[in-house]
Amino acid sequence: MSKVVPAEWMAADRPGVPGGTVPGLIARHAAERPDTIAVRQWDVRLTYRELLGLASRLAETLRDNGVGPESRVGVCVGRHPSLLVALLGTLLSGGAYVPLDPDLPPVRLTEIAADAGVTCVVADDAGRAIFAGTGLALIDLPRERAEPFACPVLADNAAYVIYTSGSTGRPKGVVVSHANIAAFMTSIHDRGRIRLGDHALAITSIAFDVSVLELLVALMVGASIQLAAESDRADPARLRRFMVEHEVTWADLPPALLPLLSPGELPLLRSIVTGAEAPGPEQVARWTADGRRLMNGYGPTETTVAVAGFPASGEWTTPIPIGRPMLNHRLYVVDENFALVPQGVPGELLIGGPGVTRGYLDRPGLTAALFVPDPFGDEPGARLYRSGDLVSWGVDGELRFHGRVDRQVKVRGQRVELGEIESVLRGHPDITHAVVAAVPVRDDVTLAAFVTPADAPDAAALREYLSERLPAVMVPSRFQRLDVLPLNSSDKVDLATLVAGLTVDEEAVVDIPGVPRELAVLWSEVLGAPARSAADDFFVHGGHSLGAMRLVAAIRFELRRDVAVEDVFAARTLGAFAERVARADEVSGVDVETGHPPALSAAQRRLWFLDQLAPDAAAYNIALAQRLRGPLDTGTLARALTEVVTRHDVLRWRVPHEGGRPYAVIDPPAEVPMPLDDLSGLAAGERDRVMRERLRTEATGRFDLATGHLLRARLLRLAEDDHVLAITAHHAVFDGWSERVLYADLAAAYAGKTRESATAATFADYVAWREERESRRGKNDLAWWTEHLAGAPTVLDLPRDHPRPAEQSYAGAFAGTELSAATDAAIRALAAELGATPSTVVLAAFGDLLRRIAGRAEVVIGAPVADRRHAAFADLIGFFVDIVPLRLGSTDQRTFAEVVVACRNELFDALAHPDAPLERVVDALALPRDASRGALVQVLFNVFNFAQSTLELPGIEARMVPAGLPGSPFDLTTYLVERDGRMRFEVVYNPDLYTAPRIDALLAALVYVLDAAVAHPRRALGEITPPNLDTLRAGLVEPQPVPLSDLPADVVPPSTDTEHVVAAAWSAVLGKPAVGVTQNFFDLGGTSMDLVSVAEQLPGRPRVVDLFRYPTVRALARFLDGDTDSSGLTKAAQRGAARRERARRRTATRRTGLPSQEGRG
């Protein structure tokens, strides 16, 4: 039985709420806080005093031009702080402003100005160009201030007249009073949490009423407006930078923007209002996970911006409600007879309260029809506005939105009357009939127009025609020409048939020559229809500016290419845009200053320190080999390599150190040796064996960072026209992307093409650029990482086949397998469905498999990230890579699709905080150091999804051949490699830990999980168990439990001569006057780099790795004395470190509320 809706659900009355006028409330803040910033746009600022003074001068000018109460003044000013001067000046004069956004079509603006009967227009240069010749008085913006004066306006006077779409084809102006705005201010202050001192973001066009909240209400409560320019608000990356630099604390963000921004990048943003359409449940969970407020607001223009709100948070599986009435508003849900409907029954929403406006300007009939007497209240003359929205009351007392009663729809968050578009179309001389329909596309709608006759103008011509008369949001993305419009049984146009005809042949995205499939999929997802050819025009096929923003954000996150919204507009077709994406770098940045002296990046310093720990290891070598068949000129090739090394000075760097601190030195250009080993005289089998052995020797030969020559080459001659070129570089000056640059430059030099002798920017310029970014953003990024990783397990010790060596051995072995074509296709399909990359799907499966093998709730896996965020670095050789630690967790009850989405979001957040290098994150977490494994990251997941590089020499057939394996820097590295359109796994692992059968079993389990999970992504993970999971969980050597005993950390003074020497070295390096023999070096603030300085001060120059193994004075002293019992002290010291690590994580658990991992291993 249906339940009656309680009266308290329908009203939120609070008597005695103060009112006032907009200028009066703003003037109060100007008097109390005159020097507070009222509006800012980058370096342009106006204080409340300056704003009020300039507005007062403008008001004087307007009054001299006859403006007073109830006069209407056009405001045609762009997105600049002077816009606030124009609005406030108009209100101070007593007039009502009519917003005329200069970005709208001039025809529409002049029509609005004429309909509103404006007496004059306040205009900047763009506005003057639009209204020149109209006969209207054009008022310039003031350059000088005037003393404030009493505003001749009452609360019931009009404040603004704003135009909305009209069903008859004629826009209608809504008249809003000062009292309406004051009431809304009180409501949103109560529900939307905009406060005195907030930095309020302003991104909405003045043509839409949300701008009243962002501009006027923000000033009325004493906030500081952060006014985004058009270029800032149109591009998510620029908007993010704007919000960070302007320290935005409050914002109204449309739902479509929420997935394009990262909560972690905006820590100061404490309160968000959204609306127009409901935000997705996933975005609600994402934005409120850290406790910030998000309100889903609802309200028609006719009732002053918003009348209902819902404080959304947590996990939702159903659409987000629009909430309950705001302060002093009343919401009634009625049937066609105006009778209240019970809970759960949809009906039309009627709205009452102080936000209900006068009605429509000079439209008494329409006003009477939609603003009706209130049959439910007892206030004389009270009216209700008929919203035309279908809603229902839920059992929780919250309103749910169900759609429209009439043909009004929301497109990109803006209200559109389909009838107005049809009316304008019918005005075309070659159109007989026209019908417009709203077609759902994922989380938005797109407009489709159906016109007769069949030989009517084409889509491009109709688009141009409408664009001259309507806002872009009202221009349909699809057009279909017909002989006749189909009718249904009621002799009405059969919209269902028309819409079905649009989608009947929409199939999977096809392969398009010259367009990467990943890009075509993203393009298709944004447009809601599959791409068909490289000639597809983004805007003709349904694109718009917001769609362009979505596409750009998807490419930046998914494909990691630096494109801008402008690129979509400039390269409208898929083929042209694909070319731009192919040329783009990985991220955007500011201009790069050049000419910096050499300096080491944080990542290079990390590799240098690892080299000090294991000076005989070659795990950080990068070995390349190309087989070259054809008439090779070996002398020209050698000279070409010398030219490349001359061009890229980072290849001439060396890294000596002094006082335990490394620094970079550039050696002058010199000939690069390329020894030639002639194997052509050997028998075929012996020749191949020797070739493999030479390649292995090249790959594993260590570099001395201090003496330089960090790239070497060797040429093997197999026959007169058959050679193998082996090039080996140290990772400190070379990365995976550098291979492409090296081969391109080597080919150009070999062919004699003229190149600059040096690159415009250098790796040293990158280091300076990176350091500058870290100085500005590194602190915030580091804070995010330490908070994000608080309580995470910092050791991933999988079951092993051998005891872990006391020192990391860096030994390496290789295994691999390929995915089936069916699984490969299913991975790509699921990725497209979930808005992720195929590699994210694979990483989700890999992370969850390791979680289950380790018996943990979550694991930390490293992922390399290329830091070529600026185009200046696209063609540089160097080490542009850092490792981000990804915190991946799940439960057996979650579905695989949910885990993929969580993994995608983790990647997004990690990539949004690139300015805290891994070593600084490790130091900030104060993790215990262990010479037997890497800190924080022991397992790596790497993606090689770019085309394999080859050395393209004239007359030479080149192909890659396997080079030797230098070693394994981690316990386990899984590479997802895409070759010839198929994904495969290549695993590099440490054979001192794992046997080949165990790694083969791991790969088999991963393939099994992927096969099952992508086939049934909505199944619980607990239902997808690889048959060999128990085998993988049971190693011959299980992870060692950590004893709970510990040594005391009291300051026990040194007693032996060696203890005194060690303690003195520690004191000198750490700046501590007294060091206890049982205190841990890292607990005292020591870093990895400090250990090198300590080693240099100790007799005999012990290995740095030994200082890692013996991190207390007593343990190290006994080791130096040759005491065989030092191992016991080492274990005790390590137990102490483990205890402190548990304490750190327990503290983090209390701080974050995350479950502790203790006892889950």
Evaluate whether 618-760 and 1057-1152 have a shared fold.
no
Q: What is the pLDDT of residue 476?
A: 87
Q: What is the pLDDT of residue 507?
A: 43
CATH number, span 796-946+963-1033: 3.30.559.30
CA distance 137 to 120: 5
Mean pLDDT is highest, among 472-486, 693-707, 920-934, for 693-707
Confidence of residue 1144 (pLDDT cuts 50, 70, 90): very low
Please tell me the least confidently modeled range out of 761-775, 914-928, 1040-1054.
Answer: 1040-1054
- Cβ-count burial 1031-1045 (b if 16+ within 10 Å, e if not): bbeebeeebeeeeee
Which overall architecture, per CATH, does domain 618-760 show? 2-Layer Sandwich (3.30)
| pLDDT reading at 309 higher than 80 | yes
CATH number, span 19-190: 3.40.50.980
How many other C-beta atoms can be found within 10 angstroms of the C-beta atom of residue 419? 17
Tell me the backbone φ, ψ of residue 333, rounded to 5 degrees. -110, 120
Kind of pairing between the strands at 661-662 and 657-658: antiparallel
Average pLDDT of the residues in 271-285: 85
394-to-276, 317, 342, 348, 397 alpha-carbon distances in Å: 20, 15, 10, 15, 5
In this structure, what DSSP letter does residue 614 have?
A: -
For residues 885 and 335, which has the higher predicted lDDT (pLDDT)?
885
CA distance 1136 to 740: 47
| pLDDT reading at 503 higher than 60 | no
Residue type, 3: K
Q: What is the pLDDT of residue 222?
A: 94
Q: What is the pLDDT of residue 752?
A: 86
Q: Where are the domains of the chain?
A: 19-190, 407-503, 517-583, 618-760, 796-946+963-1033, 1057-1152
User: Phi/psi zone of residue 83: left (φ > 0), alpha (ψ -120 to 50 degrees), beta?
Assistant: alpha
Task: Please give the sequence-ordered ranges of beta strands (E in DSSP) within 29-154, or none if there are none.
Answer: 37-41, 44-47, 72-76, 96-99, 120-123, 137-139
Confidence of residue 561 (pLDDT cuts 50, 70, 90): confident
CATH 3.10.20.30 fits 1057-1152, yes or no: no
Q: What is the pLDDT of residue 1154?
A: 31
For residues 288 and 555, which has the higher predicted lDDT (pLDDT)?
288
CATH topology of domain 407-503: GMP Synthetase; Chain A, domain 3 (3.30.300)
Q: What is the pLDDT of residue 1129?
A: 42
Average pLDDT of the residues in 1026-1044: 67
Selected from 2.60.120.650, 1.10.1200.10, 3.10.450.710, 3.40.1000.10, the CATH number assigned to the domain covering 517-583 reads 1.10.1200.10
CA distance 167 to 257: 28
pTM exceeds 0.85, yes or no: no
Torsion over CA: 182, 70, 414, 912 (sign): negative
Q: What is the pLDDT of residue 1085?
A: 74
Which tokens go with 1021?
């993970």
The string of pLDDT tens digits covering residues 438-459 is 876 644 577 889 998 878 888 8
Are the C-beta atoms of residues 178 and 184 closer than 8 Å to each other?
Answer: no
Residue type, 324: R
Q: What is the pLDDT of residue 427?
A: 80
Whether the link from the prior residue into 321 is cis, omega within 30° of 0, is no
The string of pLDDT tens digits covering residues 646-695 is 999 999 999 998 877 899 999 999 999 999 999 999 998 899 899 999 99
CA distance 64 to 593: 52
832, burial (CB in 10 Å: exposed 0-12, middle 13-18, buried 19+): buried
Tell me the backbone φ, ψ of residue 444, rounded to 5 degrees. -150, -175
